[in-house]
Amino acid sequence: MDSLDKKIINQLQKGFPISDTPYAEVAEELGCNEATLLQRLERLLAEKRLTRFGPMYHAERMGGAFSLVAMKVNEEDFARVTEQVNSFAEVAHNYQREHDFNMWFVLATETTARIDEVNAEIEQLTGYRVYNMPKLEEFYVGLQFEIR
């Protein structure tokens, strides 16, 4: 990554403007043009230096819900169960951990009731118990990783 790539990543972690020309605005702040910014973003995504670039929605403020979910999956079943769990559109951020609870993922649904429905569907499909861990309290952490 060169200095412009690093500037792009650092700048976009701070937010993205809502306007008719947001990419042009960001490009101007970075001292490049919109086409260059778009090309760089596409390349950073293609190279997997960025895994995602897009809005973060607060599901609950839009009438939806989200929850952290854990499962205890036998190692020999892990690949199968991962594929089955990831087949649900509501599943995000599925990670394997070295722990008895070795699969952790986030559910984001359009309604609170859908959390329980998806968890029941996952249990039925995989044959493994799902442990739902809904948020009790929210804390905001303004986390940014400066690229140097």
Instruction: List, for residues 51-64, the tens digit of each pLDDT value.
Output: 888 877 777 788 88
CA-CA distance, 88 to 27, in Å (whole number)? 36
The pLDDT assigned to 138 comes to 81
Q: Which residues of the chain have pLDDT under 50?
A: none
CA atoms within 13 A on the CB side of 8: 24
DSSP 72-138: ---GGGHHHHHHHHHTSTTEEEEEE-SSSS-EEEEEEESSHHHHHHHHHHHHHHHSS-EEEEE-SS-
pLDDT of residue 12: 92
**Residue found under tokens 């929605």:** 57
- Output the six-digit token pair for 148: 């140097």
Q: Would you state the pLDDT for residue 145? A: 83
Per-residue pLDDT, 50: 87
Give the per-residue pLDDT at 30: 96
Please report the pLDDT score of residue 119 as a whole number: 98
pLDDT at 142: 77
pLDDT value at position 51? 80
Q: What is the pLDDT of residue 62?
A: 81
Query: Domain segments of the chain: what residues?
Result: 3-46, 59-134
C-alpha–C-alpha distance, residues 102 and 95, integer Å: 8
Fold exhibited by the domain 59-134: Alpha-Beta Plaits (3.30.70)
DSSP state of 61: G
Q: Concatenate the DSSP letters of all residues of 35-53 into one string.
A: HHHHHHHHHHHHTTSSS--
Please provide the DSSP assignment of 1-29 as one string. --HHHHHHHHHHTT----SS-HHHHHHHH
